[in-house]
Amino acid sequence: MPPAHPFDDDKLREECGVFGVVGVADAASFVALGLHALQHRGQEAGGIVTHDAETGFNQARRIGLVRDNFTSPEMMARLPGPIGIGHVRYSTTGSKGQTAIRDVQPFFGEFAMGGAAIAHNGNITNALQLRRELIERGSIFQSSSDSECIIHLMARSMGRNIPDRMEEALRKVEGAFSIVAMTRTKLLGCRDPLGVRPLVLGKIGDGWALASETCALDIIGAEFVREVKPGEMVVITAEKGVESHFPFRPNRSRFCIFEHVYFSRPDSILGGRSVYETRENIGRELAKEAPVEADLVCPVPDSGTPAAIGYALESGIPYAMGIIRNQYMGRTFIEPTEQIRNMGVRLKLNVNRALIKGKRVILVDDSVVRGTTSRKIKEMILDAGAAEVHFRIASPPTAWPCFYGVDTPQREKLLAATMSEEEMREHLEVDSLKFISLDGLYRAVGEAQGRDDNAPAYCDACFSGEYPVAPSDMMEQGFQAKTAAE
């Protein structure tokens, strides 16, 4: 199966999305709706597990989109019960490209005190080490996913119940994770000690919900209660409500700043802030830092739109939809043969020629990774008769790979890892190219003084090269993390 956007390999791939409910009738339908709202976080595959008093645990894991797999009455009837969890996946570890059904979450395990299912967003940075140790002790792995390590660690725990076992297992795990899990009666949620990946708590009637983003609560009519705190585990039952545990030592939060830039939906709330408003603020900061004389501000749709609006408002230059996105360009539209691939982004984006011709155009995009798509878009704009093309990027240069649940190219394939800003401008062949500064990005997300280099408030490793959790497995394979001298 081709990737979600087979003609665009120039974006960081979203991680995964998790969702769970307890204390509702027909939990599977709520989970399917929640996963549909989180589809932007993973389009390769999805799965749902529920529990019913009569039929026990029920599960379905499928390749493809939620709408294609979890909408039929027949499918939903096979997933009865008042409690359920689900997961949408983009492969960041394990198999790439061709998703194997064995890697689709949630994973299920049968323990002495009953069954449990678990779904994980993020990446375990010591998974290879853990897998080796577990296999040496007799564990048999069924998937290539790092998430399965948690199930095996729980199986070996001597905890009195499943929440205790999950706590013990997670203390052995390094990296970034937001987890939803379930037993026959309990819904569990947990974030890593640094809170790198998001997880929110909601209330729906007499029941409760956990989700990667607030937009998934909105779709089921749930009230947003709060974010699960970094290092917190919540244990939720229909009868007792939410119990909070803190299995890890307190630590300073390092939430992923790229969630504000790109990953999260613009209608979600992060850290009490509207993602849309934050992205508009990013555009305003960018206009202050990198002004240029031009006739139009145009977003690279759709991810560049809020920042482009902010840039236009701050600069006073008119905002215009100079590029139109084909909303129906899906993965099954046409087999991506070499001839079709050569059409590049034209299958997905088209220039509004009448608007662009003769104009000096500012193109606002969220990021530049390899630079391949940026060059194609620039060519399309010039072919349409633009007088000048100026790129403004709503994030700092992406010069380092992410090891916390985001699929990024090897460092040498990142344009900013091998070129200066001026060299990138020459490579892209545009009139000007400017990225927002790291301080400017911090100001846009609410840090008025910019980035505190001694105690950064966010994980910004993809920009700074400063990894808050050592990428143990990758360093074992020879990856050179940034040193203090750099």
State whether 278 and 241 are in the same domain. Answer: no
Give the E-state strand segments of 174-325 in sequence order: 175-182, 187-191, 200-204, 207-211, 223-227, 233-237, 241-245, 255-256, 269-270, 273-274, 296-299, 323-325
Q: Is 247 exposed, middle or buried (0-12, 13-18, 19+ CB in 10 A)?
A: middle
pLDDT > 90 fraction of the chain, expressed in percent and rounded: 79
CATH code assigned at 113: 3.60.20.10
Q: What is the pLDDT of residue 340?
A: 52
Q: Which of 221, 253, 285 represents a domain boundary (last residue)?
A: 253
Q: Is 4 within a domain?
A: no
For residues 446 and 394, give the distance between their C-alpha atoms in angstroms, rounded to a whole number.
15
Determine the average pLDDT of the residues in 306-332.
86
Residue 278 tokens, joined? 């934050």
In a domain, 127, yes or no: yes
Q: What is the largest CA-CA distance in the chain?
A: 72
Residues 153 and 236 in one domain: yes
Six-digit token pair at 242? 């939410």
- DSSP assigned state of 199: -
How far is C-alpha 302 from the geometric centre of its chain's CA atoms? Answer: 16
Residue 476 resides in a domain: no
Catalytic residue among 16, 215, 298, 402: 16
Q: Specify if 464 maps to a domain.
A: no
pLDDT band for position 99 (cuts 50, 70, 90): low
Pair (376, 445) in one structural domain: yes
311 or 95: whose pLDDT is higher? 311
Rounded Cα–Cα distance for residues 95 and 86 (Å): 20
pLDDT confidence band for 199 (50 / 70 / 90): very high
Res 477: pLDDT: 82
CA 461/CA 482 separation, integer angstroms: 10
pLDDT digits (tens, 9 = 90+) for 205-216: 999 999 999 999
304 shares its domain with 390:
yes
What CATH number has the domain bearing residue 434?
A: 3.40.50.2020
* 248, 385: one domain: no
User: Tokens in use for 132?
Assistant: 């080796």
pLDDT confidence of residue 331: 44
149 is catalytic: no
Together in a domain, 166 and 278: no
Q: Token pair 């569990």 is at which residue?
A: 188
Query: How far is Cα of residue 461 from the mean position of the Cα atoms in its chain?
Result: 15
Where does the pLDDT of residue 97 fall: very low under 50, low under 70, confident under 90, or very high at 90 and above?
very low
The answer to whether position 470 is within a domain reads no
Given a cut of 50, whether residue 131 has pLDDT beyond it is: yes
Which tokens sit at 263? 């990953």
Mean pLDDT, residues 337-342 taken together: 51
365 with 238, same domain: the answer is no
Side-chain half-sphere exposure of 296, counting CA atoms within 13 A: 22
- pLDDT at residue 344, as a whole number: 59
Q: Note whether 232 and 350 are same-domain residues.
A: no
Number of domains the chain is built from: 2
What is the dihedral angle through the alpha carbons of 4, 350, 267, 97, rounded to the nearest 10 degrees?
Answer: 10
User: Rounded to 5 degrees, what angle do the CA atoms 372, 261, 281 make?
Assistant: 120
In single-letter form, the type of residue at position 173 comes to V
Structure confidence at residue 98 as a pLDDT band (50, 70, 90): low
- pLDDT beyond 50 at 332: no
Same domain, 203 and 110: yes
Residue 275 banded pLDDT, cuts 50, 70, 90:
very high
**Is there a single domain that holds both residue 306 and residue 236?**
no
Neighbouring residues of 96: CB distance < 8 A, sequence distance ≥ 6:
407
Residues 318, 367, single domain; the answer is yes
What is the pLDDT at residue 478? 78
Cis peptide before 52 (omega within 30 of 0): no
292 shares a domain with 247:
no
Mean pLDDT on 130-154 = 91
Q: Is residue 396 part of a domain?
A: yes
Q: Which letter, b or e, does each residue of 269-307 get, where b requires 16 or more Cβ atoms within 10 Å of its Cβ?
A: bbbeebbbebbbbbbbbbbeebeeebbbbbbbbebbbbb
Q: What is the pLDDT of residues 378-403, one digit of tens each?
A: 999 999 999 999 999 999 999 999 99
CA 399 – CA 411 distance, rounded (Å): 7
pTM over 0.85: yes
Mean pLDDT value across residues 476-481: 79
Backbone angles phi, psi at 260, to 5 degrees: -70, -35
Structure confidence at residue 402 (pLDDT): 92
- Check pLDDT > 50 for residue 8: no
Across the range 47-53, mean pLDDT stands at 97
204 beta partners: 207
Judge whether 469 lies within some domain: no
Residue pLDDT, tens place only, 255-272: 999 999 999 999 999 999
- Which residues span the domain enclosing 102? 16-253
Average pLDDT over residues 343-353: 78
| Mean pLDDT lowest among 96-100, 150-154, 284-288 | 96-100
User: Average pLDDT of the chain?
Assistant: 90
**428 located within any domain:** yes
Nearest to 211 by CA among 158, 278, 264, 164: 264
The rounded percent of the chain whose pLDDT value lies above 70 is 91
pLDDT at 95: 44
